[in-house]
Amino acid sequence: MKKLILIAGMATVMGACGSHKVTDNNPFLSEYNTPFEVPPFDKIEMKHYKPAFIQGMEEETKEVEAIANNPEPATFENTIVALDQSGKLLRKVSNVFYGLNSANTCDEMQALSRELSPLLSKHSDDISLNPKLFARVKAVHDNMEQLSLNKEQKKLVEETYKSFVRSGANLDSANQARLRELNSEIAMLQLTFGQNMLKETNDFQLIIDKKEDLAGLSETLIANAAETAKETGMEGKWIFTLHNPSVMPFLQYAENRNLREKIFKGYINRGNNNNEADNKDVVKRLVAARLEKAKLMGYENYAEFVLEDRMAKHADNVYNLLDQIWAPALDKAKEELADIQAEIKKEGKNFTAEGWDWRYYAEKAKQSRFNLDENELRPYLKLENVRDGVFHIANRLYGVTFIPLKDIPVPHPDAEAFECKDKDGQHLGVLYMDYFPRASKRGGAWCSTYRSQTYKNGKKVAPVVTIVCNFSKPVAGEPALLNADETETLFHEFGHALHNLFKDVHYYGVSGVPRDFVELPSQVDEHWAFEPEVLKVYAKHYQTGEVMPTELVEKMDKSGKYGQGFATAEYLAASYLDMDFHTLKEIPNEMNIMQFENETLSKRGLLSQIPSRYRSTYFNHTMGGGYTAGYYSYIWAEVLDADAYEAYKETGNIFNQEVASKFRKYILTPGGIDDAMNMYINFRGKEPGIDPLLKNRGLK
């Protein structure tokens, strides 16, 4: 079936899940003949992926064997660089497949991802556990000081060697065999966890058929719920889902307490319903497999294995940071709970607040204190205006511009495409932006690449970057109007995009930064979102064009820190949960996952009304991989970003060009060539302190 879509007036045929059309030519097996050589999404079919993966693995295997069996002595070029540049086809197809598997998946893609998981795990292990290859890598590493290498090249040698060691190259054959089994098991469990979570999120529906049960909700939210019902074949009713743009405003504004309880429990019990998508056993097996892997590698727990390669280095350093923030956050949350109970009393009721009451009565308390209703902001936060505000910030700071691209393949019909040009007019990359939730998209917001920046034959290859979000969908005939959190999210993900666009490294092996540093570029970008002089640029009423009134801006500013007790406590709770799982030294056979979670949070005094931001059974950041023993990274990076923004404020100009130039040079451009803390000190001239973070969150 062909799917015809329109992009800014230009017709494009897009290959979608389940599509079996057009041609036998596999787009992955030749150069992309597209603008800026972006992936030809309109020509890629499901049937193209598996053959490209298989051929990609075969090609890389041959390349690796050639390196390992090279009769010439090992050199930087014939071993380290050759290995770094191997696997081009596999990288090419993986970027597209896994990007779309997150943003626009289907049953066929999910089935293929399960089929590929053990194959890719084995392929990776075959490389990292190849003794001849490791011997050559080690030879270059051990003689590095005798080689004439620049800083980037030395870093590549170090990272390549470390990667082999951390992948088990020094283990004996029996332990390597067990490591292979564990790697395959972990990969499959992580995949299963994410697929179960997506199913649980999509399966829940709160169906309302009485108009009076909609009391308190905005017209936009009601209209979206009606549209969802219509799409589901229930026209005349209203359906609310567990996607954030639906569930969160429902909890914040719905007057019907019983319905708030129902959707709240649906949200916090995802993966914990004792059905085919239950994640409790997945979590138990995953945590156990990770621990066994860590012990196999010589570490007492999985966190120590992971953190060795991060800024934090040790679990004690993570707990020390979390503990410093926990006490003031909990104190603030208790103050907020008192406000909530006061609002309940105002209504002539005397029940004790529960989790499904918090957002509703916190919103009332906020309105009482600051005379601000979050819905007052939406008319001034039209999506296109916010996007243009994000572009404006980048232009003011770095001189870059974003030009809409019309006749270009896109990863989904909803996505927009832009060319990014540097201040001198040079092409920096292509940026896709995909805003709205759908059943085929995982929750949350993220930034990734369909092609990473690199060099080819001495010429820089620009990246293809994508920002994927789950924002409130527009009502028919109306524009998409964001709330404050969604606005901040767009600034956040755009910070990641700039990091990808500005990066300038010659080797894949030095392109990444530690997980607890990677959120610095994104979180620092949030600071500009609600600055009064920035709001004047983009916060314009979608009907009148009127700039957000000063009175409303002042209300936003005064109320901005209200609710940080809740927000900080729920985040820290998830961070503790992640760390406590991965600092375990033994996993009891009878381990009860939900009991472990309850004990972890209750022993620290978390209020019963505040659930962990992510409970164990839907904590995809850690159980799905990516932020394993690393969810603390957001608050770790916030210490950096709060201090970094002070560098601008200290000059009296939040668009100070000298500071922006240094931030780009030392933070956004070098990839992982330098040590992360050295990069920060190069920018700031000193290590960061925690005070700016506490001040920003209103905890001091």
What is the DSSP secondary-structure string of 547-613?
A: BPPHHHHHHHHHHTTTTHHHHHHHHHHHHHHHHHHHT-S---TT--HHHHHHHHHHTTT--TT---S
Residues 463 and 378 in one domain: yes
Pair (158, 218) in one structural domain:
no
Per the DSSP assignment, residues forming a β-bridge with 451 are 464
Domain membership of residue 226 (yes or no) is: yes
Quick one: 354 and 496 in the same domain?
yes
pLDDT greater than 90 at residue 235: yes
- Where residue 22 falls among pLDDT bands split at 50, 70, 90? very low
- What pLDDT, in 10s, does the model give residues 72-83? 999 999 999 999
Note whether residue 291 is domain-resident: no
Per residue in 419-433, pLDDT (tens digit) is: 999 999 999 999 999
The mean pLDDT of 525-550, rounded to a whole number, is: 97
- Alpha helices in 143-279, H assignment, sequence order: 151-166, 173-203, 219-231, 244-253, 257-268
What's the whole-number mean pLDDT along residues 149-160?
A: 98
d(CA 116, CA 463): 26
Per-residue model confidence (pLDDT) at position 13: 32
Q: Are residues 354 and 444 in the same domain?
A: yes
CA separation for the pair 418, 404 (Å, rounded): 4
Per the domain annotation, does 284 fall within a domain? no
Rg over CA atoms, the chain: 25
Hey, how many other C-beta atoms are within 10 angstroms of the C-beta on 634?
Answer: 20
pLDDT of residue 23: 43
Other Cβ atoms closer than 10 A to 426:
11
| pLDDT at 290 exceeding the cut of 80 | yes
Query: Same domain for 162 and 216?
Result: no
* CA–CA separation, 417 and 411 (whole Å): 10
Res. 476 pLDDT band, cuts 50 70 90: confident
- Across the range 97-120, mean pLDDT stands at 97
- 348 with 495, same domain: the answer is yes
Q: Kind and range of the H or E element at 447?
A: strand 446-451
Mean pLDDT on 533-545: 97
Count the neighbouring beta carbons within 10 Å of the beta carbon of residue 536.
14
Q: How far apart are the first and last CA of the chain?
A: 59
Alpha helices of 232-309 — where are they, by DSSP H?
Answer: 244-253, 257-268, 280-296, 302-307
Binning pLDDT at 50, 70 and 90, where does residue 1 land? very low
Rounded alpha-carbon distances, angstroms, from residue 530 to 336, 389, 534, 547: 23, 10, 7, 13
Last residue of a domain, one of 170, 194, 213: 170
- What are the pLDDT digits (tens) for 186-205? 999 999 999 999 999 999 99
Q: What residue spans of 347-483 are helical by DSSP H? A: 355-370, 383-398
Checking if the pLDDT of 3 tops 50, the result is no
Q: What is the pLDDT of residue 18?
A: 52
Q: Which of 264, 280, 211 is nearest to 611 (CA)?
A: 264
Q: Is the same domain home to 242 and 371?
A: no
Q: Is the pLDDT of residue 571 over 50?
A: yes
Bridge partner residues of 421 (DSSP): 401, 427
Same-domain status, 255 and 348:
no
Average pLDDT taken over every residue of the chain:
95
Residue 700: the pLDDT is: 83
Q: What is the mean pLDDT of residues 22-28?
A: 76
Q: pLDDT (tens digit, 9 = 90+) per residue, 646-662?
A: 999 999 999 999 999 99
Place 477 in a pLDDT band, splitting at 50, 70 and 90: confident
Pairing of strands 446-451, 464-468: antiparallel
Which residue numbers are catalytic?
A: 493
- Pairwise CA distance, residues 616 & 279, whole Å: 8
- The reply to whether 48 and 129 lie within a common domain is yes
Residue with tokens 């369909």: 450
Q: Which two tokens stand for residue 468?
A: 């994927």
Q: What does each C-alpha distance from 245 to 26, 225, 567, 598 come to in angstroms?
A: 38, 11, 17, 28
313 belongs to a structural domain: no
| pLDDT of res. 655 | 98
Q: Indicate if 222 and 158 belong to the same structural domain.
A: no
Q: Are 437 and 245 in contact (CB under 8 A)?
A: yes
Question: What does the block give as tokens for 112?
Answer: 């293929």
Give bridge partners of residue 208 from the DSSP assignment. Answer: 238
Name the pTM for this structure: 0.94
C-alpha 67: how far from chain center: 35
Tell me how far CA of residue 7 lies from CA of 12, 14, 38, in angstroms: 7, 11, 16
pLDDT of residue 8: 28
Question: Among candidates 331, 320, 248, 374, which has minimal Cα distance to 698?
Answer: 331
Residues 132 and 214 reside in one and the same domain: no
The answer to whether residues 453 and 463 touch, using CB atoms and an 8 Å cutoff, is yes
Residue 545 forms part of a structural domain: yes
626 token code pair: 């990516």
Query: Which pLDDT value is given to residue 215?
Result: 98
pLDDT digits (tens, 9 = 90+) for 665-695: 999 999 999 999 999 999 999 999 999 999 9
Residue 441, in any domain of the structure: yes
- Residue 315, in any domain of the structure: no
CATH, residue 457: 1.10.1370.40
pLDDT digits (tens, 9 = 90+) for 206-221: 999 999 999 999 999 9
Cα–Cα dist 27/11, whole Å:
20
Domain that holds residue 212: 204-268
In a domain, 602, yes or no: no
Q: What mean pLDDT comes out for the span 636-655?
A: 97
Same domain, residue pair 372 and 424: yes
Q: Which helix (H) or strand (E) holds 13?
A: strand 10-14
User: How many domains does the chain fold into?
Assistant: 3
Q: What is the mean pLDDT of residues 427-454?
A: 97
Q: What is the mean pLDDT of residues 526-544?
A: 97
Residue type, 399: G
